[in-house]
């Protein structure tokens, strides 16, 4: 099946610094990539939808200037958490969709655990 | 609020028993999916059932869909310790891109050896 990777798998940073998370589709071209956030013992909450070559669409309540998304190619999307604060500590998961899959099936990365001290 | 709500929130069973999880949703859908998440990992797609299907099987998994009740169930037969994970239902988001999904609250399944 389609493989999506994320890097890093975990990161610890100081408050006020920026962190970049990469999401790559390894064996297919992802038309659309999604970024989710998951707090402990909770479900996934969609943060933004990213289409290659265009601006990301952010969900209500998600600050686009704080969570910068760049989908520069069909195999790579990045999420940068700018000026991170402890409340940004969470599990960030990306997923990718391609026209070769069933309509709404998404392939998920393994997630990135962000801890902000 | 979440489109999908699942129950139970947590389920603990013995190896070999069957596990049933339920998902309810609020709006019309054209399909419903189930995903599995091992602790601290990403999600793995299990099965997709379309709105014109009532039941679908995949190995030890059986999914039902009742569009009149806006509910779905996931049955795992002959459970194994390796089935321990969180299970989420997901539906296409109303009014959004056909590819955007809304996830249910999840059921944490623990299979005891």
Percentage of the residues of chain B whose pLDDT score is greater than 90: 73
In a mutational test of the B interface, the residue from A44, A45, A46, A49 whose CB has the highest number of chain B CBs within 10 Å is A44
* Of the partner residues B33, B44, B106, the one whose CB lies closest to the CB of residue A104: B33
Mean pLDDT of A49-76: 90
Contact between B4 and B104 (Cβ < 8 Å): yes
Residues in A closer than 8 angstroms to B45, CB to CB, are: 105-108
Q: Which two tokens stand for residue B71?
A: 């509910």
Mean pLDDT of A49-59: 88
pLDDT at A104: 59
Q: Which two tokens stand for residue A90?
A: 């969470």
B10 touches chain A (CB under 8 A): no
b/e burial code for range B78-107 (CB count within 10 A of at least 16 → b) = ebeeebbbbbbbbbbbeeeeebbbbbbbbb
Q: Which of B91, B86, B94 is nearest to B111 (CA)?
A: B86
Total beta-carbon pairs less than 8 A apart between chain A and chain B: 63
> How far apart are the C-alpha atoms of A109 and A107, rounded to whole Å?
7
* Of the partner residues B45, B100, B108, the one whose CB lies closest to the CB of residue A105: B45
pLDDT at A67: 97
Lowest mean pLDDT among A6-10, A109-113, B3-7, B75-79: B3-7
> How far apart are the C-alpha atoms of A69 and A77, rounded to whole Å?
7
pLDDT at B2: 37
Average pLDDT of every residue of chain B = 90
Mean pLDDT of B93-111: 83
Confidence of residue B95 (pLDDT cuts 50, 70, 90): low
């Amino acid at each position: 099946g389609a493989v999506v990777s994320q890097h890093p798998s975990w990161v610890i940073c100081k408050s006020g610094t920026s962190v970049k998370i990469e999401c790559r589709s390894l064996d297919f071209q992802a038309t659309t990539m999604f970024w989710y956030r998951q707090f402990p013992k909770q479900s996934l909450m969609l943060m933004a939808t990213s289409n290659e070559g265009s601006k990301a669409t952010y969900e209500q309540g998600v600050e686009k200037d704080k969570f910068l998304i760049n989908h520069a190619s069909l195999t790579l999307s990045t999420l940068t958490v700018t000026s991170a604060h402890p409340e940004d500590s969470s599990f960030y998961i990306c997923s990718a969709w391609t026209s070769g899959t069933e309509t709404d099936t998404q392939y998920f990365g393994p997630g990135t655990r962000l801890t902000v001290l | 609020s979440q489109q999908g709500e699942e129950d139970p929130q947590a389920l603990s069973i013995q190896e070999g028993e069957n596990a049933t999880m339920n998902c309810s949703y609020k709006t019309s859908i054209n399909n419903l999916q189930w995903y599995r998440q091992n602790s601290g990992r990403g999600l793995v797609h299990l099965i997709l059932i379309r709105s014109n299907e009532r039941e679908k099987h995949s190995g030890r998994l059986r999914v039902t869909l009742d569009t009149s009740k806006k509910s779905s169930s996931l049955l795992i037969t002959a459970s194994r310790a390796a089935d321990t994970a969180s299970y989420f239902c997901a539906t296409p988001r109303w009014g959004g891109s056909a590819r955007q999904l809304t996830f249910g609250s999840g059921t944490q399944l623990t299979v005891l050896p």
